[in-house]
């Protein structure tokens, strides 16, 4: 009996020690003759456009920094992991980047749901992370190590609402995704601002990954709105627009930066979306970026994720330079104190909430192309 | 009223697709008493074949009728072959083993197909849109009451529903009126006795798999035209069709069709009428309906009650 009790105590102590050892170890960055940065993104899957664009922007920034002699006298190497557009996968690839590769900083994601998941890992492991284009305010909220170099959904949603008012749309229907942190927040902020001056004719939801939207669209058609606010991602938007036109809904649809990647055809003709950037933006910083991007990628015109990925990488590089070390805490402090950094998409100052203030471009889809309709400066 | 009618039409159109897939589940269960979990992925392969055939045909400017005929027949043929080989290579060697072994193998085949098609060399993980074949436009349109919006049935819905009806009628005829159909019923009734009576059970099982897979291919091509093609498209459609088969009474052919149509209607009505904050949960609610029905009728709506052996 006693022997049993002793054995029990021994085993449970061992188990406790082992679990503490696993959870408590904060793996230091690998000592390397390179500067290792991790990137996670949706290189494949239903949001592949996001990950591909971001990756190309980041690689352009890496080429440029290495051509200029690297950082701290060492070349920069980015290790890229594909999360397949899946939040569970995002958690495991970020863990892999930190624990196995020993990266000193992480770049990613575009989709807010995945940035929230990956950001949680970075926060636990005390590794600085910069999201290029996640707009949900919660991504950086109460997080010490997570930053972003783009605007947030409170700004994006209210700009969308003001735009709707300016267009003279009195009744607007909202169709948002119930399992996307991005879509939920954006529709919330849009509704908050728009309902002050207009009427929300109908509010319907779907789930990311759904393919049939006829039931929701039938409800929206019956509400006869002037326009439909659709804060989602492009794969679902393509299907929604197609099915809406088939059902005979002819009014314009509009949404946020998740529209970048949408098929530009007759179903999306006359639609609008708010975005981080437009290739028609005349500012010299934007045009210089487009030139170097086209030179690297055989004349391919960058999308918004290209420019935000480029800026995120450069803010990380700048912080490493200013910290003058590969210490993760020092780099985190340096990112937090970024002031007036000349990014391609505009000057970047990281505020107390770890967000950047950037102008919003409103794009109109006409003739199978996007055109810059307006630029709204942050207050 | 007009909205309700429109929602019923929407529901029937997606229900018809569930029914086509559910037929495959129910037929295999009927003869082998096991659930072929790779069936949803056979549906996906059907969509991929349809897409792969449509791209060059549309590019070459083939007439729409010819293109449709070729992509449907091509996908059916391709999937029937796939179904034949899945059964031959994966399930037949395990025929004498406990049913659980075949079930686990089916899950393995499902994962194999999903991951194979996610490989960029085969298809890739990104959704692709079918090339434009014909304009989807209302063919039947009428007004109900004072509603300004007409109730419409478009050509694709009509094609889906009529394909479902024709194929189900054809299948019923095959099972009830042909010699192979008779053999199929005999095998389903009592496997060992049927083989003692000189029925080539291996061949009957192969036919069952080929028929079920060809029906899934039709569903796949219809969905490829309606939505898009991606390697994981069989996941949720497969589960819903499986539920439809259980709902209708697994092993029963009219049951699978009834179950499919009910699943489509319930899902659509829930999406359309649940308060918007909850309409994202329509799938969960549809499965809740299944639980309710099974609590009342454990063998499904048209399933035969199982005599309890004492």
Q: Which has the minimum average pLDDT: A26-30, A42-46, A111-115?
A: A26-30
Q: What is the pLDDT of residue A11?
A: 66
User: Are A215 and B7 spatial neighbours (Cβ–Cβ below 8 Å)?
Assistant: yes
Count of C-beta atoms within a 10 Å radius of residue A17: 10
The reply to whether A35-151+282-358 and A154-275 are identical in fold is yes
Return left, alpha or beta for B126; rule: phi > 0 is left, psi -120 to 50 is alpha, else beta: beta
Residues whose CB is less than 8 angstroms from the CB of residue A272 and which lie 6 or more positions away in sequence, other chains included: A163, A252, A254, A362, A363, A364, A365, A373
Bridge partners of A40, per DSSP, are A81
Tell me which residue in B3, B236, B271 faces A222 most closely, judged by beta carbons. Answer: B3
Mean pLDDT computed over A217-236: 93
Bridge partners of A78, per DSSP, are A37
Q: Do A45 and B125 touch (CB under 8 A)?
A: yes
Distance between terminal CA atoms of chain A?
73
Among chain A residues, CA nearest to B265: A215
CA B66 to chain centre: 24
Structure token digits, residue B169: 């009628």
Tell me which residue in B7, B149, B280 faces A207 most closely, judged by beta carbons. Answer: B280
Q: Do A218 and B6 touch (CB under 8 A)?
A: yes
Q: Which has the minimum average pLDDT: A138-142, B241-245, B303-307?
A: B303-307
Among chain A residues, CA nearest to B279: A205
Q: Do B226 and A179 touch (CB under 8 A)?
A: no
> What is the predicted ipTM?
0.83
Contacting residues of B for A205, CB less than 8 Å apart: 276-277, 279-280
Q: Do A179 and B280 touch (CB under 8 A)?
A: yes
Tell me which residue in A48, A204, A209 faces B279 most closely, judged by beta carbons. Answer: A204
Residues whose CB is less than 8 angstroms from the CB of residue B131 and which lie 6 or more positions away in sequence, other chains included: B54, B55, B58, B59
Mean pLDDT computed over B151-169: 89
Please spell the DSSP secondary structure of B79-123, one letter per residue.
HHHHHHHHIIIIIGGGTTS-HHHHHHHHHHHHHHHHHHHHSTTTT
Contacting residues of A for B156, CB less than 8 Å apart: 246
Q: Do B233 and A211 touch (CB under 8 A)?
A: yes
User: Are B168 and B211 spatial neighbours (Cβ–Cβ below 8 Å)?
Assistant: no
Q: Do B3 and A48 touch (CB under 8 A)?
A: no
Q: What is the pLDDT of residue A16?
A: 60
Q: What is the pLDDT of residue A24?
A: 46
Q: What is the pLDDT of residue A4?
A: 66
- Show me where the domains of chain B are located: 2-296
User: Would you tell me which CATH number, out of the four given (3.30.160, 1.10.3470, 2.40.160, 1.20.81), belongs to the domain B2-296?
Assistant: 1.10.3470
Distance between terminal CA atoms of chain B?
52
* pLDDT above 50 (res A42): yes
Q: Do B228 and A239 touch (CB under 8 A)?
A: yes
**How many CB pairs (< 8 A) connect A and B?**
89
Return left, alpha or beta for A141; rule: phi > 0 is left, psi -120 to 50 is alpha, else beta: beta
Among chain A residues, CA nearest to B7: A215
Q: Are strands A253-255 and A227-229 parallel, antiparallel or unpaired?
A: parallel
Q: How far is CA A283 from CA A115, A272, A343, A359, B146, in A?
A: 29, 22, 12, 12, 54
- Show me where the domains of chain A are located: 35-151+282-358, 154-275
Q: How far apart are CA A49 and CA A39, in angstroms?
A: 15
Q: How far apart are CA B292 and CA B282, in angstroms?
A: 15
Residues whose CB is less than 8 angstroms from the CB of residue A3 and which lie 6 or more positions away in sequence, other chains included: none
| pLDDT tier, A116 (very low <50, low <70, confident <90, very high otherwise) | very high
Mean pLDDT computed over B231-248: 90
User: Would you tell me which CATH number, out of the four given (3.40.50.2300, 2.40.160.60, 1.20.210.10, 3.30.70.600), belongs to the domain A154-275?
Assistant: 3.40.50.2300
Contacting residues of A for B14, CB less than 8 Å apart: 212, 214
Nearest to B244 by CA among B18, B12, B8, B14: B18
* pLDDT above 70 (res A113): yes
Half-sphere exposure of B268 (CA within 13 A, CB side): 26
What's the CATH number for A35-151+282-358?
3.40.50.2300
Largest CA distance in chain B: 66
CA angle A329, A332, A334 (to 5 degrees): 110
Query: Is the model more confident about A21 or about A256?
Result: A256
Contacting residues of B for A235, CB less than 8 Å apart: 127, 228
Q: What phi and psi values does residue B150 have, to the nearest 5 degrees? A: -75, 155
Q: Do A46 and B230 touch (CB under 8 A)?
A: yes
User: Are A145 and A118 spatial neighbours (Cβ–Cβ below 8 Å)?
Assistant: no
* pLDDT above 60 (res A19): no
* pLDDT above 90 (res B54): yes
| Residue B236 buriedness (CB in 10 A; 0-12 / 13-18 / 19+) | middle
Q: What is the pLDDT of residue B275?
A: 77
Q: How far apart are CA A153 and CA A113, in angstroms?
A: 13
Q: What is the pLDDT of residue A17?
A: 57
* pLDDT above 60 (res A26): no
Q: Which A-chain residues 223-282 have CB contacts (< 8 A) with chain B? A: 224, 235, 238-239, 246-248, 263
Residue count of chain B, please give it: 310
């Amino acid at each position: 009996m006693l022997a049993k009790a002793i054995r029990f105590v021994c085993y449970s102590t061992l188990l406790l020690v082992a679990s503490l050892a696993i959870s408590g170890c904060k793996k230091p960055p690998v000592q390397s003759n390179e500067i290792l940065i991790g990137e996670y993104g949706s290189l494949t899957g239903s949001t592949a456009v996001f990950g591909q664009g971001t990756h190309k922007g980041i690689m352009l920034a890496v080429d440029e920094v290495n051509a200029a002699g690297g950082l701290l006298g060492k070349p920069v190497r980015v290790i890229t992991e594909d999360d397949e557009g899946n939040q569970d996968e995002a958690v495991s690839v970020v863990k892999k980047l930190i624990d196995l590769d020993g990266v000193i900083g992480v770049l990613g994601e575009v989709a807010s749901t995945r940035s929230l998941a990956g950001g949680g890992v970075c926060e636990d492991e005390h590794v600085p992370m910069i999201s290029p284009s996640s707009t949900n305010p919660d991504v950086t909220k109460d997080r010490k190590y997570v930053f972003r170099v783009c605007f947030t959904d409170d700004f994006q949603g209210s700009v969308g609402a003001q735009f709707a008012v300016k267009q003279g749309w009195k009744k607007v229907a909202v169709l948002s995704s119930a399992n996307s942190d991005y879509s939920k927040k954006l529709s919330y902020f849009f509704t908050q601002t728009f309902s002050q001056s207009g009427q929300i004719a109908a509010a319907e939801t779907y789930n990311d990954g759904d393919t049939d939207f006829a039931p929701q669209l039938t409800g929206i058609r019956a509400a006869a709105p002037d326009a439909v606010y659709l804060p989602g991602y492009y794969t679902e938007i393509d299907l929604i627009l197609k099915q809406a036109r088939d059902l005979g809904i002819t009014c314009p649809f509009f949404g946020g930066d998740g529209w970048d990647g949408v098929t530009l055809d007759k179903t999306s003709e006359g639609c609008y979306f708010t975005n981080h950037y437009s290739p028609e933006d005349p500012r010299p910083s934007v045009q210089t970026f487009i030139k170097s991007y086209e030179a690297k990628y055989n004349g391919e015109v960058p999308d918004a994720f290209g420019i935000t990925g480029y800026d995120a990488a450069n803010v990380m590089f700048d912080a490493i330079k200013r910290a003058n070390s590969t210490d993760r805490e020092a780099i985190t402090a340096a990112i937090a104190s970024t002031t007036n950094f000349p990014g391609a998409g505009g000057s970047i100052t990281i505020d107390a909430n770890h967000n950047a203030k950037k102008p919003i471009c409103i794009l109109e889809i006409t003739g199978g192309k996007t055109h810059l309709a307006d630029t709204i400066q942050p207050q | 009223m007009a909205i309700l009618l429109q929602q019923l039409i929407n529901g029937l159109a997606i229900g018809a697709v569930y029914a086509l897939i559910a037929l495959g589940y129910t037929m295999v269960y009927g003869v082998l008493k096991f659930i072929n979990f790779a069936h949803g992925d056979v549906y996906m392969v059907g969509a991929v074949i349809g897409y792969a055939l449509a791209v060059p045909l549309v590019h070459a400017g083939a007439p729409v009728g010819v293109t449709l005929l070729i992509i449907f027949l091509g996908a059916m043929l391709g999937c029937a072959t796939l179904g034949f080989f899945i059964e031959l290579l994966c399930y037949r060697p395990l025929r004498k083993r406990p049913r659980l072994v075949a079930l686990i193998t089916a899950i393995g085949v499902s994962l194999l197909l999903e991951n194979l098609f996610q490989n960029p060399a085969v298809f890739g993980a990104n959704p692709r849109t079918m090339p434009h074949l014909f304009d989807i436009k209302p063919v039947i349109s009428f007004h109900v009451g004072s509603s300004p919006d007409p109730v419409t049935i478009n050509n694709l819905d009509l094609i889906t529903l009529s394909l479902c009806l024709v194929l189900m009628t054809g299948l019923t005829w095959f099972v009830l009126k042909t010699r192979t159909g008779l053999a199929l019923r005999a095998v389903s009734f009592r496997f060992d006795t049927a083989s003692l009576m000189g029925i080539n059970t291996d061949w009957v099982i192969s036919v069952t798999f080929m028929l079920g897979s060809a029906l899934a291919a039709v569903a796949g091509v219809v969905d490829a035209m309606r939505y898009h093609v991606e390697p994981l498209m069989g996941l949720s459609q497969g589960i819903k069709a499986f539920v439809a088969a259980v709902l209708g009474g697994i092993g029963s052919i009219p049951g699978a069709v009834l179950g499919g149509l009910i699943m489509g209607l319930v899902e659509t009505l829930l999406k359309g009428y649940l308060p918007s904050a909850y309409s994202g949960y329509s799938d969960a609610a549809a499965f809740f309906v299944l639980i309710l029905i099974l609590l009342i009728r454990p063998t499904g709506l048209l399933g035969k009650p199982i005599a309890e052996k004492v």
